[in-house]
Amino acid sequence: GAVVSQHPSWVICKSGTSVKIECRSLDFQATTMFWYRQFPKQSLMLMATSNEGSKATYEQGVEKDKFLINHASLTLSTLTVTSAHPEDSSFYICSARGASSEQYFGPGTRLTVT
Amino acid sequence: QKEVEQNSGPLSVPEGAIASLNCTYSDRGSQSFFWYRQYSGKSPELIMSIYSNGDKEDGRFTAQLNKASQYVSLLIRDSQPSDSATYLCAVKDPGGGNKLTFGTGTQLKVEL
């Protein structure tokens, strides 16, 4: 149980374009989903918390107009990186929380902006 | 600023030995603690959660929590080369919102 999927697993895009990443909880309903970013050899950095049916809560320093989050259902949240630039290249990972306090991570999406 | 501290390592142990990974946290109100394993290039995988003082065992893994000392540890018995990974300690924000604060992780290397 507690399986979380992400799509795509990797993406290469050109500078200035937008990329959408999907996060799905496959076998449970996720009341809350989280989006993280991880740069090489660094720990996870929480970007935003997403609750179904409400606006996402962004961490300090994360631009909400650049990283658009939608949590339209209890099993799906999306992160759209708008007008991507090379410095946005990173490993983006979502996690989902159900009824318990435990968070389960998706496999991650590696974004490369050229 | 809530902090979760881990020794970055690498921690090297021989195959079959016990690996001991340690974590301290700054927020005395924290109640929920988690250990994640992350292989290089992969996302974190939940290994253990612990909420009460004392030990919690699951297979070869034992989590230990001491809230008075603000200390949580993970023991891996009979370490295997496949245990080689980075182990992340995470502490749930007691203020609500279900956010986790992660340590920077300890790299474990199990040598043949």
3-state SS assignment for residue B44: coil
Enumerate residues 6+ apart whose C-beta is below 8 A from B96: none
- Of all residues in chain B, what percent carry a pLDDT higher than 70? 98
How does pLDDT run across B58-97, given as a tens digit for each residue? 999 999 999 999 999 999 999 999 999 999 999 998 887 7
Which residue does chain B place closest to A96, by CA atoms?
B98
How far apart are the C-alpha atoms of A61 and B85, rounded to whole Å? 30
The string of pLDDT tens digits covering residues A60-105 is: 999 999 999 998 888 999 999 999 999 999 999 999 998 787 899 9
Instruction: Report cis status (omega within 30 of 0) of the bond before B94.
Output: no
Contact A108 B99 (CB under 8 A): no
Our CA-based measurement puts residue B108 at a distance from the nearest CA of chain A, in whole angstroms, of 14
Query: A9 to chain B: nearest residue by CA?
Result: B42
Q: Which residues of A touch B105 (CB under 8 A)?
A: 43
The minimal CB distance from A101 to the residues B44, B98, B103 is found for B98
Beta carbons of A103 and B34 less than 8 Å apart: yes
Residue of A nearest to B107 (CA): A41
Is A102 close to B99, i.e. CB distance below 8 A? no
Return all residues near A108 (Cβ < 8 A) that are at least 6 apart: A6, A9, A38, A91, A92, A93, B42, B43
> For the residues A32-43, what does the mean pLDDT come to?
92
CB contact under 8 A, B44 and A93: yes
Mean pLDDT of B4-33: 95
A49·B88 Cβ contact <8 A: no
Give chain B's contact residues with A (Cβ, < 8 Å): 32, 34, 36, 42-46, 49, 51, 88, 90, 92, 97-100, 102-105
